[in-house]
Amino acid sequence: MKKTTSVFWWGIGIVVAFLIWGSIPESVLPNGNTANVTNTIQTFLIDQFGWFYLIATTIFLGFAFFLMFSKYGKITLGKPDDKPEYSYISWFAMLFSAGMGIGLVFWGASEPLNHFNNPPTIVEDAQTAEAGSTALSYSFFHWGLHPWATYAILALAIAYFTFRKQSKGGVISAILEPIFGDRIHGPLGKLIDIIAVFATIFGVATSLGLGAIQISGGLSYIFDGIEPTFSTELLIIVIVTILFIGSALSGLDRGIKILSNANIIFAVLLMLAVLFLGPTNFILNSFVTSLGQYVQHIPEWSLRLTPYESDNSWIGDWTLFYWAWWIAWAPFVATFIARVSRGRTIREFVTGVLLVPTIFGAMWFAVFGATGIHMEYFQNIDIFGDITALGEEVGLFAMLSQLPGGMILSVLALLLIATFFITSADSATFVLGMQTTNGDLNPSKSVKLIWGLIQSATAAILLWVGGADGLGALQTASIIAAFPFAIILILVVISLIITFKKEAKRLNLDNKPETPAKKTGD
Determine the average pLDDT of the residues in 42-50: 87
- Judged by average pLDDT, the poorest of 105-114, 193-202, 275-284, 489-498 is 193-202
Q: Write the CB contacts of 281 (distance below 8 Å, at least 6 apart in sequence).
A: none
- Judged by average pLDDT, the poorest of 10-14, 114-118, 140-144, 361-365 is 10-14
Identify the top-confidence range among 218-222, 436-440, 492-496: 492-496
pLDDT exceeds 80 at position 321: yes
Is the C-alpha dihedral spanning 484, 487, 493, 494 positive or negative? Answer: negative
Determine the average pLDDT of the residues in 28-40: 75
Quote the pTM value. 0.88
Give the pLDDT confidence score for residue 521 in this predicted structure: 47
Determine the average pLDDT of the residues in 369-395: 93
Give the pLDDT confidence score for residue 522 in this predicted structure: 44
Determine the average pLDDT of the residues in 70-86: 86
Identify the top-confidence range among 2-16, 161-175, 292-306, 437-451: 292-306
Query: Which residue(s) pair with 76 in the sheet?
Result: 345
Q: How confident is the model at residue 17 (pLDDT cuts 50, 70, 90)?
A: confident
Around 174, how many Cα atoms within 13 Å sit in the side-chain half-sphere? 19
pLDDT exceeds 80 at position 25: no
In DSSP notation, 341-365 reads: -TT-BHHHHHHHHHHHHHHHHHHHH
Give the pLDDT confidence score for residue 227 in this predicted structure: 80
189-218 pLDDT tens trace: 888 888 888 888 877 777 777 778 888 888
Mean pLDDT score across all residues of the chain:
85
In DSSP notation, 24-83 reads: S-TTTSTTTSHHHHHHHHHHHHHHHHHHHHHHHHHHHHHHHHHHHHSGGGG-BSSSTT--
435-491 pLDDT tens trace: 888 777 778 888 888 888 888 888 787 777 666 665 666 677 777 888 898 999 999
Domains and CATH numbers, the chain: 71-507 (1.20.1740)
Give the pLDDT confidence score for residue 124 in this predicted structure: 83
